[in-house]
Amino acid sequence: MPNNAFYVYGIVRFGIDLDWKETGINGKNVYMVSKGNFSALVHECKEEPYTSENPEEIKEMIITHNKILNRAMEDLEGVIPLSFNTIIKRGKDSHKFNLKKWLNDDQERLEKIWQKVKGKKEYGIRIYYEKDKLLEEASANKEIKKIERSIEGKTQGLSYLLQGKMKSKKQEIFQNKVNELKKELYEKIKKKTDEIAVNPSKISLEEEKDLLLSLSVLIEEKKVDEIKEILNKIGKESFTFNLAGPFAPYSFVENGTK
């Protein structure tokens, strides 16, 4: 099958057709196809997605895809990333015509996205809170202590009902505390970022170590130390955290860019 398609890694604001001299998936030469102010980082491929029965081969292809995006962020002021296996095919016109038409038709929208991601990178932040300390604080609450005292001397049936009430109240206090902490930490980090997104998290009394907050932030690299300073401060307050990145700004690019 001939190479009648383009594999597209991402979009940069460059506007000149150029052999970029980067090696992409399966050793393919990556270059730029341009229209107007924007260029697509591509290599020529067949009209089918990249796949393999070997998970390690898929993993390596995804790593290479992201390597190209990381290089674009370093060399070209930023990148609008596209997902793995974004392929522009030939229709009644050539794949090159179709790619240039897409770039031309989307100039205004691409410009808005570019202004958001230019010079910035994405980082992931996960903040944890130790369950034992949070439960200890909930158990020391005045309402919980009052219910505990009221259980003394009660019949077995009534004690059972009061214990259920106490458990429900402890869960309520626990969740309220979680929400307060999440809001407080979110606001502190938000002040240091250009864009911030909250990722879904699960809080459970049954977990040994609870994920309090999972965030993606879009920032200039020079501001990373300010984020680290905030995290190191909360790390002294019985929190643990993980800061990962930099990554291409997938979380801050509109869905359906292509």
- Residue 207: CB atoms within 10 A of its CB come to 11
Q: Distance (Å, rounded) from C-alpha 224 to C-alpha 192?
A: 9
Q: pLDDT at position 241, please? A: 86
Q: pLDDT at position 106, please? A: 93
Q: pLDDT at position 238, please? A: 66
What is the share, in percent, of the chain residues with pLDDT greater than 70? 76
pTM (2 d.p.)? 0.79
CA-based Rg of the chain, rounded to a whole angstrom? 26
Q: pLDDT at position 150, please? A: 58
Q: pLDDT at position 230, please? A: 86
Q: pLDDT at position 184, please? A: 85
Look up residue 228 and give its two tokens. 């680290």
Supply the DSSP symbol for 255: T
Taking Cα atoms as reference points, which of 30, 25, 31, 122 lies closest to residue 65?
Answer: 25
Q: Distance (Å, rounded) from C-alpha 10 to C-alpha 257?
A: 10
Supply the DSSP symbol for 248: -
* Averages of pLDDT over each 10 residues, the chain, 258 residues: 87 88 92 95 94 94 96 92 94 92 94 93 87 63 60 58 64 74 87 86 52 90 88 75 92 66
| Beta-bridge partner residues of 44 | 6
Q: Distance (Å, rounded) from C-alpha 186 to C-alpha 109?
A: 29
- Can you tell me which residue has the tokens 């459970």? 204
- Can you tell me which residue has the tokens 């930490």? 185
> Angle at which helices 156-190 and 142-151 pack, to 10 degrees?
170
Q: pLDDT at position 133, please? A: 67
Q: pLDDT at position 56, please? A: 95
3-state secondary structure 38-87: EEEEEEEECCCCCCCCCHHHHHHHHHHHHHHHHHHHHHCCCCEECCCCCE
Q: Distance (Å, rounded) from C-alpha 229 to C-alpha 91?
A: 52
* Consecutive H or E run containing 160: helix 156-190
